[in-house]
Each structure stands twice: as structure tokens, then as C-alpha cells.
Structure 1
Amino acid sequence: MAAAAPDQVSDPQITFRTKGITKVYDTGDVQVHALRGVDLELYEGEFAVLLGPSGSGKSTLLNILGGLDTPTEGRVWFRDIELTAAGERLLTRYRRDSVGFVFQFYNLVPSLTARENVELVTEIAREPMDARDALALVGLEPRMDHFPAQLSGGEQQRVAIARAIAKRPDVLLCDEPTGALDSETGVIVLDAIERVNAELGTTTAVITHNASIADMAHRVVSFADGAIAQVRVNAERKPAREISW
């Protein structure tokens, strides 16, 4: 693994640190500035919500943190590893071993059961959870032998969460995980994510445009026009079961 950069503070409590990151997409005649000089720290074991409207830069930031994209300018660290200086082999290992992704759409293999979808990840992980245990953590052990078509949207999303956590990642990055769900089902999914954060201590970042979800976070980072508009710490957090929208 790469050594800490000279100006990187080696703080064991910091999972992610970004310094002045920008992201510009060149669409031909127009340049789109998705991120504009973002400085951010996310901490070990916290549940962070990145809040903002569509187009505010949230998903771009999450993709950069997860090693799926690179900034146009600026630097990004995961613990003491500078991701922006890493080669493709290191980034591949980082994505495989350290990061669990949950997206708005579930991306399950329809011909595999819930357990088999989770086992796709456990077969390549270093020290995976048993697929049954991962599904139990999100409340789906009784449904583990059902196919995606036999599961509701919320259940499919919980299978996707189980798949993401089965490899025991250091971080769980969730991009609008309730975006395709109604409020009642979304709360069940948020409860599963909350349980993973609490029981496994997985640093968790959820991006959303839904301000109600911010009430369950340790910290809320609000975005506007590609920049951080505000960071607040919740003195008291609401459990997912008390969230409504």
C-alpha cells in the first residue's frame, strides 16, 4: 500500500479526506462543472448523509470516493492511501476489498436466488460473511431461496445491501438507495443500512435528495452547485423507523 502523502494528516479516525477536488465533464461545446473545490472528511464508523438536489455533485463525489471515477483536479485519500496517486491495480484491489456499493437499482441476477446473488461476492472476497448471515442481518434469511422476481422492490434492495456487506467492506457507499421505493418500503431499507452501520461499524455514506433521511445521520453534508454548502452534526439522531416522508 502507498505511504501517507507528506501533507496528509495520519488520523486513524478519518476514513476519507478530499482536498480541493473538482470534476469537469467536457461534453463538446460545453463544460459541465460537477464538483467545484470540495474539501471533505468522513470518519470511521459514522453514518453520513450527503444531501442535495439532482445535479449538485453528490453522485460524482461518491463515485470518486469509491474509486469508480477520478477528479479533474485535487486529491483523495482513503485512510493513508492516496487514491488519486494509485495505479489501476491498487484501485481494483481497493474496490474489491474495501468498498461496498448500493445503487438505486438493484442489479440482481434474475436467474439466481437471493443467497446465490450474495454468494457471487463471497466467492471473491478475502474474509467473507456467510451469505445466510448477511441476509439475516438485513432481515431476509427466510427469503434467501427466493428469486428476485419473487421479491418486492424493498426486499431486492435489501438483497443488494447484503451482497455489498458480505465481503465485510470498510465502507458502504449508497447512491439513492430508497429512490425507487415508496416511503414505507424505503424506511425498511434504511433500517437495514442503519443496522449494518451499528452492528458492523462500517463507515457509511448515503446520498439522497430526501431531507428527511438526514435526521438519522451522525453528520449531514449539504451540496449545492457542485460545492459543499453546509456541514452539520446531529445532536440527536432519529432511528430509521421514525423517519417518514
Structure 2
Amino acid sequence: MAEKTGGGANAAQPTFVARALTKTYRTEAGEVHALRGIDLELWPGEFVVMLGPSGSGKSTFLNILGGLDSPTAGQVLYRGADLAAFSERARTRYRREEIGFVFQFYNLIPSLTARENVLLATEIAPEPLTPEAALDLVGLSARADHFPAEMSGGEQQRVAVARAIAKRPSILLCDEPTGALDSNTGILVLQAIEAASSALKTTTVLITHNVSIAAMGDRVISFTNGHIADIRLNAQRRPAGELSW
């Protein structure tokens, strides 16, 4: 299969197809079964919320989608191409050009302004947004020349969202992006993710343990003990601004 990481999304074709996806880690205490045969499709432009307690497998699944980890067995196809078959060069290109990551901790460079932190991401992308456009999408135009130490935690996380979307990714993967934030601040971050996802038409996967956030997804996928326990379709998505917890 050709090592392709680009190309237009076909609405009739899933963005991702996982089949019998298994991940086992070997530790001194024995084997840890993080994923136990996951079958799932994710679709172009879809906003998916993944729920589950710590250790349920959702972060492992996200890391495999993002090319940060590989399955022990089974496969994940990205637009028909098997991620496990990618060379290291193709995998790096896939992460660089196709995937935007937002993690719980912001990981901004303290000595750089918000604009400069975002600019770093645009330098490795073929057709990036300008840092100013990315910061505007997350509502931080006025903070572009501020350093991380001069911003609140929520503002720093929104800079991290801007950094993730600046390269115009096809996929936005968010792992507990509000986990370190209070409700009011977390909602601002969710609004930033929501706006960016809508503007760029990304396939967005957001991991959380917060059940209240599930209402903003097209689908809600619940993980438990390495399995998918439930998949629920939201008849109508609720805007992030209407959420509270």
C-alpha cells in the first residue's frame, strides 16, 4: 500500500478504520492489556467525544491514531492506508502535516510569546495559517505578544490549541484538554476547539473523563477496560458555551 498522508477527504470513506485493534504493554509486573480488539470508524468532519476512566484505553487509542504508538495486533487505516505500514519518514510526515495535538498540559516555550509559540508549528507545515489567524480563531489576538507567564492557564491552553491548528491539520486530537482547568476556563478552551474544528472542518477526537462534555460531540464513545462499552449518537450537539460542570 502506498505511503500517502495527504489528499482530499472522501465523505463516503471513513477517515479512520480500526479493526481488531489490540495493544499490550509488557511490564515487570506482567502484561497490561490497554486495548482489547477495538473496531471503530471515524468520519470526515466528525466531532467525537471519548469518555472513560483512567486506564480504560482511550489515550492509548488516541496515540495510535496520532502515530505516536503502534498496535500490538489489528490495524488502523487512515484514508485507506495502514498506519503500521508507514516508514518512519512517512509516519513523521503524517504527524507533521495531518495531525494537530492538544494535551492536558500546554507545553508552551516560556521564552517565546504566544505568536512565536504558534509560529514554530507553522514552520513545518506546507500551507499553514498565519499565527495571527490561528490566535484569532481561539480568541487571543490581543494576547499575541504576551509570554506564557503573563497568561492564565486557560489562555495558555488556547495558545496550545492555536498552535495545533496553525498547520491546518485534517485531524485534531485532544487528550483531556480541560483536565487542569476549572469549569469557566475549561469552557473557553472547549469553545476554542469547537471554533477551530468548525472553521477547518477537522475530524476531531476529544478525550475526557467529564461526562458533561459529551453533549458537544456528534458521537460519544465510552471506553472501559480496553473495550468500547457504548457508542451513542447525539441527536443535537450542544454548543460548548451551554455546558457547565
- TM-score scaled by length of structure 1: 0.95
1:235 aligned to 2:239?
no
Partner of 2:80: 80
Partner of 1:161: 161
Per-residue CA deviations over 1:82-107 (Å, capped at 9, x if unaligned) read 10211111101100000000000000
Amino acid at match of 1:49: V
> What are the equivalent positions in structure 2 for 1:1-245 lying under 5 Å apart?
2=2, 12-245=12-245
Partner of 2:7: none
Alpha-carbon distance in 1 for matches of 2:79, 2:102:
21
Alpha-carbon distance in 1 for matches of 2:169, 2:3:
21
Alpha-carbon distance in 2 for matches of 1:209, 1:2:
37
Q: CA RMSD in A?
A: 1.3
Is residue 3–residue 86 contact of structure 2 (8 Å, CA) maintained in 1?
A: no
> Residue 145 and residue 72 in structure 1: after superposition, are their counterparts in 2 closer, same or farther (change >3 A)?
same
Secondary structure of 1:19's aligned partner? strand
Matched residue count: 240
- TM-score scaled by length of structure 2: 0.95
> Residue 198 and residue 226 in structure 1: after superposition, are their counterparts in 2 closer, same or farther (change >3 A)?
same
Is residue 3–residue 90 contact of structure 2 (8 Å, CA) maintained in 1?
A: no
The answer for unaligned runs of 5 or more in structure 2 is 5-9
Partner of 1:7: none
Alpha-carbon distance in 1 for matches of 2:13, 2:183:
33
Secondary structure of 2:100's aligned partner? strand
Greater mean deviation of Cα atoms: 196-205 or 144-153: 196-205
Amino acid at match of 1:83: L
Alpha-carbon distance in 1 for matches of 2:124, 2:33:
36
Secondary structure of 1:220's aligned partner? strand
Cα offset, 1:11, TM superposition: 6.7
Secondary structure of 2:190's aligned partner? helix
> Residue 215 and residue 108 in structure 1: after superposition, are their counterparts in 2 closer, same or farther (change >3 A)?
same
Cα offset, 1:3, TM superposition: 7.1
Per-residue CA deviations over 1:124-175 (Å, capped at 9, x if unaligned) read 1100100000000000000000000000000000000000000000000000
Alpha-carbon distance in 2 for matches of 1:30, 1:121:
39
Amino acid at match of 1:80: G
Amino acid at match of 1:147: F
Identity %: 65
Amino acid at match of 2:177: P
The answer for unaligned runs of 5 or more in structure 1 is 5-9
